[in-house]
């Protein structure tokens, strides 16, 4: 497989998709056109989303074609040179992909070697489930089961913050709750500005910040770019 799983599209104060575009270009080497899945968009249209991504992809000479324009969406994905799924609301994204019966065709294409790029919600849906998203469940998908390209869970936009005066759960506490019900699964806290590249059986953390590793029965710890994280894909 050839995947680039990005925590967030945009760093504070930067232009949209500016920081990950060089890594996106590496992942999509040789690709002239991608199938884009815009279904995480909620407060703006799919057309607006397609245009926004196209503006950045113009820099690397790649055409963006949104799946929402296709009459036969499964066939459209089946013939993709590469698949790109953007961020937004993970529940809305998964619900629409389930309704259009896209999960299995995406799984098969990516497992066959078609490059995949996703950010935020687009990273969440590569996991077995979307249970470690940060999003509000504004719609109800058929189930929480996602594409299942990787055997671990991702929490994008991960942060350690516990603001003064805040009495609610921290991000870490919510992940630990998940692990009480899913004791055999790893969860990674992927901080903003970071991404995971998966090439065949090799995993690489890209970015200057640590990624947190959570698993029931293990003390939570951080890994840096360059550390061996291949254990995450041993099923």
Query: Which residues span the domain enclosing 135?
Result: 2-151+194-205+228-233
- Give the pLDDT mean for 55-64: 98
Q: How does residue 48 score in pLDDT terms, banded at 50, 70 and 90?
A: very high
Question: What is the predicted pLDDT for the residue at 167?
Answer: 67
Residues 6+ apart with CB under 8 A from 45: none
Measured CA to CA, the distance from residue 78 to residue 85 in angstroms comes to 15
- Would you say residue 65 lies in a domain? yes
Quick check: 161 pLDDT over 80? Answer: no
- pTM, to two decimals: 0.96
Measured CA to CA, the distance from residue 76 to residue 71 in angstroms comes to 8
- Would you say residue 165 lies in a domain? no
- Would you say residue 70 lies in a domain? yes
- Give the pLDDT mean for 96-102: 98
Domain count, the chain: 1
- Give the pLDDT mean for 219-228: 97
* CATH number, domain containing residue 12: 3.40.50.880
Quick check: 168 pLDDT over 80? Answer: no
Q: How does residue 73 score in pLDDT terms, banded at 50, 70 and 90?
A: very high
- Would you say residue 173 lies in a domain? no
Edge-to-edge strands, sheet with 83-85: 63-66, 33-37, 83-85, 116-119, 2-6, 195-199, 202-206
Question: What is the predicted pLDDT for the residue at 165?
Answer: 74
The residues that are catalytic are 120, 135, 157
Q: DSSP letter for 61, please.
A: T
Q: How does residue 235 score in pLDDT terms, banded at 50, 70 and 90?
A: low
* 114-156 tens-digit pLDDT: 999 999 999 999 999 999 999 999 999 999 999 999 999 999 9
- Would you say residue 188 lies in a domain? no
- Would you say residue 64 lies in a domain? yes
């Amino acid at each position: 497989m050839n995947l680039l799983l990005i925590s967030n599209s945009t760093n504070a104060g930067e232009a949209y998709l500016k920081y990950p575009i060089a890594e996106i270009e590496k992942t999509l080497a040789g690709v002239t056109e991608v199938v884009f899945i815009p279904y995480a968009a909620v407060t703006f249209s799919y057309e607006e989303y397609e245009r926004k991504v196209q503006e950045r992809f113009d820099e690397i000479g790649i055409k963006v074609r949104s799946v929402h324009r296709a009459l036969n969406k499964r066939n459209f994905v089946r013939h993709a040179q590469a698949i790109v799924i953007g961020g937004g609301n993970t529940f809305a994204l998964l619900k629409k992909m389930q309704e259009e019966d896209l999960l299995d065709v995406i799984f098969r294409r990516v497992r066959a070697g078609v490059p995949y790029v996703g950010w935020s919600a687009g990273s969440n849906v590569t996991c077995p489930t979307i249970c470690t998203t940060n999003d509000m469940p504004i719609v109800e998908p058929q189930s929480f089961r996602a594409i299942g390209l990787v055997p671990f869970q991702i929490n994008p936009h991960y942060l350690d913050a516990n603001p003064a005066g805040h009495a609610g759960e921290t991000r870490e506490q919510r992940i630990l709750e998940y692990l009480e019900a899913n004791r055999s699964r790893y969860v990674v806290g992927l901080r903003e500005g970071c991404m995971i590249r998966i090439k065949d059986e090799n995993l690489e953390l890209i970015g200057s910040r640590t990624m947190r590793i959570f698993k029931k029965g293990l003390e939570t710890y951080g890994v840096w770019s360059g550390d061996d994280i291949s254990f995450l894909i041993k099923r």
